[in-house]
Amino acid sequence: MATVQKQANGNGAAVRLTQLEQEGEYENIFLFIPNLIGYSRVVLALASLYYMPLHPRTCSILYSVSCLLDALDGYAARKYEQSTKFGAVLDMVTDRCTTTCLLVFLAQAFPRWSIVFQGLISLDLASHYMHMYATLSMGGSGQSHKNVDESRSWLLKQYYSNNKVLFTFCAMNEIFFIALYLLSFSSPLLSPTLFSDMNNPSSIQPGSPAAPKPSQFFASPFSAAAMEMARANKMDSTVPWVLMLTCAPVMALKQWINVVQMVKASQWLAEGDREMRRKAGLPKKSQ
C-alpha cells in the first residue's frame, strides 16, 4: 500500500481509488445488471427506428420489447440492490427519446395532426424535466423523483408509489401510439393514400393524389414513394383499432398527469424562489 501511495505523488483521489480497487470495494456502476438492460433497450430502440419507415411489424416488435424491458431493469435493480442515479436517468432519457421519435414519425404520417404530436412531445419533455429538476433542487440530491409527498399531489403520489399502476399507465400509453403507428400502414380511413389494391397501384382511395407507376418510384428504399409501397402492404387494422380505442382513456389520463406534474413542479420551484428571495432580503427597499 505504501508503494501505491508513493506512486500517486500526493494525488489523494488516485490513492483512494487504487485502495478501493485493491480492497474489492470499487464497483463499476456502468456494468450493473439493470444498466446493462438499459443499454439493450437503447439498442432495440435504435433498431426499431431503423425499421420504422418501411417495416411496421418488425419495428413494433423491437419497440415493444424495448418498452417491456423498462419493467425488467427496475426489478433487477431491486433484486440485486443496484439502484443508481445513473440508471434512473438512463431509464428516463431512454423513455423520453423513444416516445419522442415515435411521435415524430406519427407527425409525419398524419401531417394534419402534427401540431397535436408536437404538443405531446413538448408536454412530455417539459413535464418530466421540470419534475426532475424540482425534485433535485428542492427535495435534495438524494431524493428520487418517484418520492412524491401526498400533500403536494395526491394524483402523483398514487401514480409513482405503485409500480403496477405506473407500469400499466406507461405500457398502455405506448400501446396507444404503437397501434396508431400500425394504423398509419393499415387503415385507409386514417391514411387515405394507402393503395386499395397492391397489384393495381392506380386503384386508390377517392380524394387521394394520383399514384405514381411503380417504374417511376425512386430507387431509394426510404423515399416517399417507397414508403407508400410499404404502406400498401395491407395489414389487418382490426387489432390496432381495438388496442388504440382500449388504451385511449389511459393515454388521455397519462397526458393529464403530465400536466399536473408540470404545474406542481412549477409551484414547488416558485416556493423555493420565494424562500430564497426572503432570505436574501429581496426586493430591497429603495431609500
Residue 38 contacts residue 87 (beta carbons within 8 Å): yes
pLDDT at residue number 31? 93
pLDDT tens-digit map of 136-183: 888 765 667 777 777 788 888 888 888 889 889 999 999 999 999 999
Residue 80 contacts residue 34 (beta carbons within 8 Å): yes
Q: What is the DSSP letter of 195?
A: B
pLDDT tens-digit map of 16-62: 555 555 555 778 999 999 999 999 999 999 999 999 988 899 999 99
Catalytic residue among 70, 73, 91, 95: 95
Cell 433498431 sits on residue: 47
Enter the pTM of the model: 0.78
Beta strand residue intervals within 9-168, DSSP E: none
Q: pLDDT: is 284 or 192 the higher one?
A: 284
What the block records as the C-alpha cell of 266 is 412549477
Q: CA dist 152 to 122, 130, 261, 267, Å?
A: 23, 15, 10, 10
3-state helix, strand, coil in the chain (%, to 5): 70, 0, 30
> In the chain, what are the domains?
27-201+221-267 (1.20.120)
Residue 184 contacts residue 231 (beta carbons within 8 Å): yes
Reduced to 3 states (helix: H, G, I; strand: E, B; else coil), residue 136 is helix
pLDDT at residue number 174? 96
Task: Examine the pLDDT at 223 and tell me if it is beyond 70.
Answer: no
95 in active site: yes
